[in-house]
Amino acid sequence: MDVNIAKEILQELRRHGWTLGFAESCTGGLLSAELTLNAGVSDVYRGAVVAYANEVKVSILGVANSSLQSFGAVSEPVAKEMAKGARRALHADCAVAVTGIAGPTGGTPDKPVGLVCLAASGPNFEVSKSQIFSGDRREIQQQSLLCGWRLLLEQLRLQ
C-alpha cells in the first residue's frame, strides 16, 4: 500500500479546507480503513457509507432505481450517484465511490470479474472511470482503492 497517496490526499484536502467521505461497495470499507491509519485524519475525514446492497444505495445514497435498472450497480452512472449521495449523506465536500465485481464469482460476459467503476465528486468536479483489474478478490479490492484515491488526488491537484 502506498501510504504517500493518502498523505497527499489529506494535504490537498487541508489546503482547500475540504472534507472527504466515501461510498464503498466492493471494497467493503477498505478505503476508510486505510485512510484512517493516518493520525490526525479526523480534521478532514467525515466517514463512509458501505452500500453493498442496492437497497442501501437507494435509501441512503439516493441512487435512482431507474439507474440501477438501466445501467446496473456496477456502472459509472451509479458510481457518480453514489459519490454525490455520499457527499450529501455525510455532509462532505468531496467523495469517492467504488462499485464493482471483486470475484471470484458474479461476473458476466458484459461485466467480468475485476470490473470496477469509480467516481470522485467535489465542489468543482465530477469524474468517473471504469477499470478491469486482475487478481484475487483482495488484489482487486486493493487496486480499486488505489485507483479511487488517484482519481481523487488528480482532481484535488487541479483545483
pTM for the full model? Answer: 0.97
Domain range for residue 8?
Answer: 3-158
Using alpha carbons, select from 47, 3, 9, 7 the residue that is nearest to residue 150: 9
Q: How many domains does one find in the chain?
A: 1
* Span 90-148, pLDDT tens digits: 999 999 999 999 999 999 999 999 999 999 999 999 999 999 999 999 999 999 999 99
- The CATH number of residue 36's host domain is 3.90.950.20
> What CA–CA distance (Å, rounded) separates 10 from 41?
7
Site of grid cell 486505510: 34
> What CA–CA distance (Å, rounded) separates 136 from 114?
9
